Structure 1
Amino acid sequence: MSIEQLPDSAGQVVSANNDPRHTAAEQPPAFLQSRRGLLKGVMAGGGAAAAASLLAACTSGHNTTSTAGTGNFASTPKWRFVFVNHVTTNSFFVPTRYGMQDAAALLGVADPQWTGSQGGVVSEMVSSFETAISGGADGIAVALTDSSAFVEPIKAALAAGIPVIAYNATAPNNYALAYVGQDLYQSGVLMGQRIARDVTSGTILVGISQPGGNNVQPRLDGIKAALAKAAPAVTVHSVDTGADQAGELSAMESAYQGAQDAKGLYAVDAGSTAGIAQLIAKQGIAGKVHAGGFDTLTDTINGVKTGALDFTIDQSAYLQGFLSVLYLYLFRLSGTLVFPPATDTGLTFVTKDNVGPYASAGSRFEGGTNKALVPMPKSITLPPPSTVQL
């Protein structure tokens, strides 16, 4: 799905099994669907006090007007939040934008503005950030793909009373109130450990859309660190696939043509991973080379389902939009008393064993158009045991 296909909050409702006999009237109210996303967010990264307040409000109904307030909350303006992104047309962020929309509808604020750069140009992102400040935004969420460019703009926003949250990527020595997104380096470490189960020597190719970018470089660094310990005979050859999603397949194809003895094809971003799945299908080499990557684009999920990819990693792009809006709202509503918590949106290895719902549900939570409740399984797989020290 391209970003241009993103339906608005009044988009068509599709049933869970895509059966045309099901109608919109049979679907649950939108705020219940959004509340389901909130519950997922609580489990993913904390914010228990904030979420408890919102759940209490949800029990009293939903009011989108600014005069009566939302649920049990005080009356508020229709606050306007702005998201500054590094690849605004990349299909990875479709569920992020759905999450923004759903949270805004739940809370009765305006749909957040989506702006930034199409091609990862930091100066364009900074310009969009500064425009948000001068335009009197009520809150800003920014992907901190660069470590220094946003330091002064964030200071200026906070000085003007505009809260700022980092999402999808964070950076050291910056001043965003919180980060909502995956632990990027650790995700790379875990991916490297997973690769070492299949590849113990030889060369692997690893696609990366923006070398040096804070959203992807930590993953590559984590992969290298993990393999240095678990499989030191593996050589990692990184492939710069570029920020333009349309060019990532050709970049991986070109790299593979020069390294057909590679033991594995991997990637640290959504577009490169989808490109690898397409490459393996075109070359007919499924099962002959190990492969995997990140995120849940359609080609990627199909690749896992057919065996072209051993795995992909889900970082819950939906929560990165939903929780950022929720946290900005509560911070303003409470006059800074409900401080946004740093939230790890998680890491789930999607394999043939658990790809079913990803492939069939078509859910907004993963970038599809289906607004219906996704059926719960009869049993829930045990998560990893708690590591909390008592």
Structure 2
Amino acid sequence: MPKDSIGGDDSVVSIELGVSRRKLMKQMASVGMVGGLTGLAGCSSLRESDSETEDVTTDSNSVTESGNASSQSSGSGAALPDFQRVPLTPPPTADEIDFANPPDPEREVAFVTHNATNQVFQPAIAMMNDAMNRFGWTGEFVGPTGNNQSRQVEIMNTKADTLSKGDVMATTVLDANSYLDPVKKAVDKGVAVTQWNTTVSEWDYKTMVSEFGYPLPYIGQEHYPAGNATGVTAYEKAEELLDDDSYVVLPTTGVPGHPALKARNDGIRNALSQHDNVEVLELLDVSTDVSQAINRVDTKYRSNPDINIILGSGFWGPTAGGRLVENENLSSSEMIVGGFDYVSDVLNGIQNGSITFTIGQNFPAQGFVPLSLAYRWLTAVSRCVISSPGPRSSTNRTSASHGSEPRGTRN
């Protein structure tokens, strides 16, 4: 692994990109990011059916292929947003991509994240690497160890200083204000900037045009609809499997205040509020440490044994819920466990029956598409054929139930 270009201290992880897949895997293993890619390689066996979409009917709420609610139950929640649940499709492999004769001069790329050691990013890192090989670019995946927004912003400022015109920065965005200065600095230098995985609603089309001169594309999940999909799926599973006719739901988060996780939890609560036989408890912070999460979920369950649904806005909650099911020898008629992500603990829990379902994201696209868009932008700039930006469009694809994945790209 190359020496960290940010400062060489242990608070930053830097993974060199544009290298062989073997070297990339060695780098990820050296920082403890193991299991995610191998989990994805075998998760096609978790698909519920071979159909591309399914019509799903709940108690009194018919959800069509597009995810629109055709009628509402007597609960008090807001109308469900559009979402779509599709079965899991395994990501492409490096063997399917032709790396011969890269079409573009070498450029430097900085993929910056708020947490460089989060194992869910492994498929994205692999496809970042493939994209750089495809275009003949080099760069790094870089960010703090653990969730650290202020440290990420420092890294972005350093990268904005060192990148040159025609280089690329792809970054997660966790709030509306602190990310403005480093992004403006990069844009003003002629760096192509894209957002991936996490953005904020305040950075809408009008705001980005005002701040940066054009909208920055975002490649990632629409988190509020994804949360609604989680709540809808949990209710369906409860109606199908639980012996009880009323439900007590424990929602969990690993990072309080994280905009994506908050939006997911808001969506979960909204979907479940459609039904009068559901009580949603106060959000439980389980932390991002799995052992802590297991202890906190266990403690909460012992103080409230009526809990029969445990949901997470990341993998920490369902991992802990699955361990509770195993330790207490609970059956599928006694506890529903669901949440997000395709990490090994969650996939293994689905396979052994301790976890009921999961929601995924298209991490391969989050790694590859930002660079594809940057390539198209830089090619347009070099040919002087830039068009005025059109109105923002959005497509949301949210997947649930034993894998699958929400995809959304906003331009």
TM-score by length of 1: 0.69
Cα distance, 1:228 vs structure 2: 1.4
**C-alpha distance in structure 2 between counterparts of 1:334 and 1:86, whole Å:** 30
Match of 2:297 in 1: 252
Cα distance, 1:179 vs structure 2: 0.9
Match of 1:80 in 2: 108
The reply to whether residue 9 of structure 1 matches residue 1 of structure 2 is no
Superposition pairs for residues 163-242 of structure 1, below 5 Å?
163-174=192-203, 175=208, 177-197=216-236, 198=238, 201-231=246-276, 233-242=278-287
Cα distance, 1:298 vs structure 2: 0.9
- Which of 173, 176, 193 does residue 144 from structure 1 map onto? 173
Residues 318-343 of structure 1 show CA distances to partners (whole Å, capped at 9, x for unaligned) of: 21111112212221122184879877
Letter in 1 for 2:183: I
Residues 234-258 of structure 1 show CA distances to partners (whole Å, capped at 9, x for unaligned) of: 2233111224456433333333333
Letter in 1 for 2:268: I
Contact 1:206–1:239 (8 Å) recurs in 2: yes
Match of 1:46 in 2: none
How large is the Cα RMSD of the aligned pairs? 3.3
The reply to whether residue 262 of structure 1 matches residue 307 of structure 2 is yes
Match of 2:46 in 1: none
- Which of 290, 295, 302 does residue 348 from structure 2 map onto? 302
Match of 2:373 in 1: 327
- Which of 306, 322, 330 does residue 285 from structure 1 map onto? 330
Change (3 A) 1:121 1:344: farther
Change (3 A) 1:308 1:62: same
Match of 1:273 in 2: 318
The reply to whether residue 347 of structure 1 matches residue 398 of structure 2 is yes
Change (3 A) 1:331 1:131: same
Cα distance, 1:150 vs structure 2: 0.8
Contact 2:233–2:401 (8 Å) recurs in 1: no
Cα distance, 1:217 vs structure 2: 0.5
The reply to whether residue 33 of structure 1 matches residue 60 of structure 2 is no
Deviates more, 1:292-301 or 1:5-14: 5-14
Contact 1:119–1:244 (8 Å) recurs in 2: no
Match of 1:102 in 2: 130
Change (3 A) 1:333 1:116: same
Contact 1:96–1:320 (8 Å) recurs in 2: yes
- Which of 106, 119, 127 does residue 91 from structure 1 map onto? 119
Change (3 A) 1:119 1:280: same
Change (3 A) 1:328 1:166: same
Unpaired segments of 5 or more residues in structure 2? 1-12, 26-37, 43-91, 209-214, 240-244, 406-411
Match of 1:160 in 2: 189
Residues 196-236 of structure 1 show CA distances to partners (whole Å, capped at 9, x for unaligned) of: 22166342111211122112110000111111123463223
Paired residues, what number? 304
**C-alpha distance in structure 2 between counterparts of 1:224 and 1:204, whole Å:** 9
**C-alpha distance in structure 1 between counterparts of 2:267 and 2:147, whole Å:** 22
Match of 1:315 in 2: 361
Letter in 1 for 2:227: G
Match of 2:150 in 1: 123
**C-alpha distance in structure 2 between counterparts of 1:303 and 1:115, whole Å:** 30
SS of the residue 2:181 aligns to: helix
**C-alpha distance in structure 1 between counterparts of 2:16 and 2:323, whole Å:** 23
**C-alpha distance in structure 1 between counterparts of 2:355 and 2:15, whole Å:** 26
- Which of 31, 48, 62 does residue 100 from structure 2 map onto? 62
**C-alpha distance in structure 2 between counterparts of 1:196 and 1:223, whole Å:** 10
Match of 1:20 in 2: none
Change (3 A) 1:316 1:10: closer
**C-alpha distance in structure 1 between counterparts of 2:354 and 2:150, whole Å:** 38
Residues 337-362 of structure 1 show CA distances to partners (whole Å, capped at 9, x for unaligned) of: 487987757322242xxx6xx9xxxx
**C-alpha distance in structure 2 between counterparts of 1:6 and 1:91, whole Å:** 17
Contact 1:95–1:318 (8 Å) recurs in 2: yes
Deviates more, 1:238-247 or 1:336-345: 336-345
Deviates more, 1:275-284 or 1:211-220: 275-284
Cα distance, 1:282 vs structure 2: 3.0
Contact 2:15–2:141 (8 Å) recurs in 1: no
Letter in 2 for 1:182: Q
Contact 1:122–1:149 (8 Å) recurs in 2: no
Identity %: 23
**C-alpha distance in structure 2 between counterparts of 1:253 and 1:4, whole Å:** 36
Contact 1:320–1:345 (8 Å) recurs in 2: no
